[in-house]
């Protein structure tokens, strides 16, 4: 049995158990795509087809992939919601759900706005929307639509922490976040945003701050046009850039806001993994946002498989035979690729993805 056949057998077992209600042909197509993505690490449909041991011509499989990404009956978030449940179920009980929001280039002239789920030193794709654009920010309407979609996916009682860069400080978004009873947030904001502070409206850059000074301002109104609040403003000093950064938050202390915001970088590692370090989603020639969205669903599933195998490498002890263990030099994503290729090479049993181990069940800290 070839490597492609062995991997397909395991991926099919997982996909068919996780997605029992999905149309059988679509499940099979997704299986082929996941296998081809993992073995080829390239989102070009022809390249994916080359990696699969298909009984007919590779060009026929490529056509099958094209029909899948063009199929308007394939609802991305409905299909992917089972993977969302798998990820959420794998989190440590009683811990907050840590979300990061960011956008990145995907496909031809497309941008994807994504919300990811923090998992150890990585982020897992949770929910996203793709739209036309080559650069720039997403609108507040798109951001709010995505946030509302994510809220539906999360249990009502869960404590949620949202981390965002400067793109996600719009007054409508902050107003919505303030209205969520179990949500906390830290979002970077621009230095020209006007806040009501000490009985006057002024820009954040006009605060009397000295170089190197950091502070935490409480009970402010946010933006002169909407007066959202009260909110808090975290101010930190960026030494290398010799300037202050500002963050809008509803967290109670400077320490909390700083500590949580440091975890935002995980979504950047996710984008790096599904782009240059992994599947090269940004190189896709697809130009229609809906088609990119369906391709991205297959990429997200492949990514979760690889991260799962990275965790399995640690839990099974296989990591000791693969890399040095006196320090962690490999991310879960990189480790997952090493692990699956070792299992294939040595004809060892490949574990199916049916559950995701809790982060507290293993040790792994790496950038």
Average pLDDT over residues 154-181: 90
Q: What mean pLDDT value characterizes the chain?
A: 92
Handedness of CA 49, 60, 75, 25 (dihedral sign): negative
Tens digit of pLDDT for each residue in 144-154?
A: 999 999 999 99
Tens digit of pLDDT for each residue in 293-350?
A: 999 999 999 999 999 999 999 999 999 888 876 666 789 999 999 999 999 999 999 9
pLDDT of amino acid 171: 87
Average pLDDT over residues 128-134: 88
pLDDT of amino acid 276: 85
Strands (E), 182-267: 183-189, 194-196, 201-203, 215-222, 228-238, 243-249
pLDDT of amino acid 328: 65
Which domains are delineated in the chain?
A: 3-74+287-354 (no CATH), 77-269 (3.90.350.10)
Distance of CA 212 to the CA centre of its chain: 33
What percent of the chain is modeled with pLDDT above 90? 78
Average pLDDT over residues 199-203: 94
Is residue 147 exposed (0-12), middle (13-18) or buried (19+ Cβ within 10 Å)?
Answer: buried
Average pLDDT over residues 215-222: 96
């Amino acid at each position: 049995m070839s490597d492609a056949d062995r991997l397909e057998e395991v991926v099919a077992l997982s996909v068919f158990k996780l997605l029992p209600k999905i149309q059988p042909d679509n499940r099979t197509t997704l299986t082929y795509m996941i296998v081809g993505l993992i073995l080829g690490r390239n989102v070009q449909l022809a390249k994916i087809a080359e990696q699969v041991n298909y009984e007919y011509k590779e060009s026929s499989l490529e056509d099958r992939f094209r029909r899948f990404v063009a199929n308007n009956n394939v609802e991305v978030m409905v299909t992917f919601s089972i993977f969302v449940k798998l990820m959420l179920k794998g989190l440590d009980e009683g811990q907050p759900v840590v979300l990061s929001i960011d956008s990145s280039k995907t496909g031809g002239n497309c941008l994807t706005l994504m919300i990811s789920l923090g998992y150890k030193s990585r982020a897992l794709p949770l929910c996203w929307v793709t739209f036309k654009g080559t650069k720039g920010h997403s609108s507040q309407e798109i951001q709010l639509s995505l946030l509302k979609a994510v809220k539906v996916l999360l249990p009502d009682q869960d404590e949620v922490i949202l981390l965002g860069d400067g793109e996600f400080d719009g007054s409508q978004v902050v107003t919505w976040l303030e209205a969520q009873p179990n949500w906390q947030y830290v979002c970077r904001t621009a230095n020209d945003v006007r806040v009501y502070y000490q009985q006057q409206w002024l820009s954040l850059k006009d605060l009397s701050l000295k170089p190197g000074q950091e502070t935490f301002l409480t009970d402010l109104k946010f933006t002169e046009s909407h007066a959202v609040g009260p909110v808090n403003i975290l101010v930190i000093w960026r030494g290398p850039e010799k300037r202050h950064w500002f963050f809008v938050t509803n967290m109670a202390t400077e320490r909390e806001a700083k500590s949580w915001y440091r975890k935002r970088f995980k979504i950047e590692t996710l984008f790096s993994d599904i782009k240059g370090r992994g599947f090269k989603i940004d190189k896709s020639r697809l130009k229609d946002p809906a088609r990119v969205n369906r391709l991205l669903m297959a990429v997200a599933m492949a990514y979760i498989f690889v991260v799962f195998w990275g965790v399995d490498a640690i839990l099974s002890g296989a990591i000791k035979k693969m890399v040095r263990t006196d320090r962690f030099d490999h991310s879960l994503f990189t480790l997952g690729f090493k692990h699956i290729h070792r299992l294939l090479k040595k004809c060892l049993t490949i574990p199916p993805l049916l559950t995701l181990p809790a982060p507290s069940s293993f040790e792994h800290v790496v950038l």
